Chain A
Amino acid sequence: MSGPFAFTLALGDDALIAAQRLAEWTTRAPEMEEDIALANIALDQLGSARLLLTYAGELEGAGRDEDALAFLRDDREFRNCLLVELPNGDFAVTMAKLLALSAYQLPLYTALAGCADERLAAIGGKARKESAYHLDHAALWVKRLGDGTEESHRRMQAGIDQVWPYVHELFAAQPEAPVDPATLRGEFDATVAAVLAEATLAAPQSGWTPAGGRDGVHTEHLSYLLAEMQVLHRAHPGARW
């Protein structure tokens, strides 16, 4: 994967699929307040996805807009990381996923805000404040569940253990990209280590590092997600509210 189109598309797909997964919590969160919080975060991700996919479409120059990219591609054409397409699991798994995603997106968007590409810099400048809040929210719950009851600790640790192998894919080196994700690993590790330590959780030492999302090779979960996300647009092309 290389070039500004592929890079921008991958970030847009990360945000889009994360938004769709988080939106699945709507009406199902543990508390009404958390329901609204997760929907807010999903909408933040969707907002970033729209900006990134619109720009990706312009970079490609083939006339595809955000809707064409979001709704008219099949799973092998999506470039999102595997992390965001994983099922929500229980609330602890969702918070583990959000912690990993936001601890990656925050330094990524912050670095983008200072990059040479003006459009990506503007998107990064807007999105990093949102990511800072997502990280805050995830960290808050990981700490409370990890350092909570015996049961909440067990489930939070299980969530971290389940999600962590998928973290490594986020930082695969792309030396040609506007921001090389490999350069973000140090900040990510420091952020996450501090949260896990306060949460009395252990960072998994995994040898298994699944990847392939950036090349369009996904888990079996993505096509189900896409089927639900795309059905309306495909059944009624050009449908509007």
Chain B
Amino acid sequence: MSQESSPLWEVFVRARRGLAHSHVGSLHAPDAEVALRNARDVYTRRQEGVSIWVVPAGAITASSPDEKDAFFDPAADKVYRHPTFYEVPEGAAHL
């Protein structure tokens, strides 16, 4: 089977209820159903997850490394955007 007939898929796994799906890697599969099953075999065989998403790699629009400065540097000197100027109330474990 050639790689031409098997496009690339990005795999996202949710480790347990309440957590978000996280990107764990990618794989090749001819269609979404096979991609989902391949992801189950490749990425959750050691009980890593309770839910899987697969997304065609081509469907993801990613920021370009060339744009890194314009995208991310302006946030570096804006310390007031961090919620560090508040007192955390006693006993607030999940803030």
Contact = CB atoms under 8 A, between A and B. Distances in A.
A140 B41 contact: no
A36 B41 contact: yes
A136 B28 CA distance: 19
Interface string A46-61: 0000000000000000
Interface string A136-168: 110010001000000000000000000000000
Interface string A115-144: 000000000000000000000110010001
Interface residues of B, number: 14
B25 to A, nearest CB: 11
Interface in A16-69: 30-34, 36-37, 40
B38 A33 contact: yes
B45 A40 contact: yes
Given A30-B1, A31-B1, A31-B6, A37 B33 contact: no
Interface of A: 30-34, 36-37, 40, 136-137, 140, 144
Interface of B: 1, 6, 27-31, 33-34, 37-38, 41-42, 45
Pairs A-B, 9 closest by C-beta atoms: A33-B38, A37-B41, A30-B1, A36-B41, A33-B27, A40-B41, A36-B42, A33-B42, A31-B1
Given A37-B37, A136-B37, A144-B30, 16 more contacts: A31-B1, A31-B6, A32-B27, A33-B27, A33-B28, A33-B29, A33-B42, A34-B38, A36-B38, A36-B42, A36-B45, A37-B38, A140-B33, A140-B37, A144-B31, A144-B34
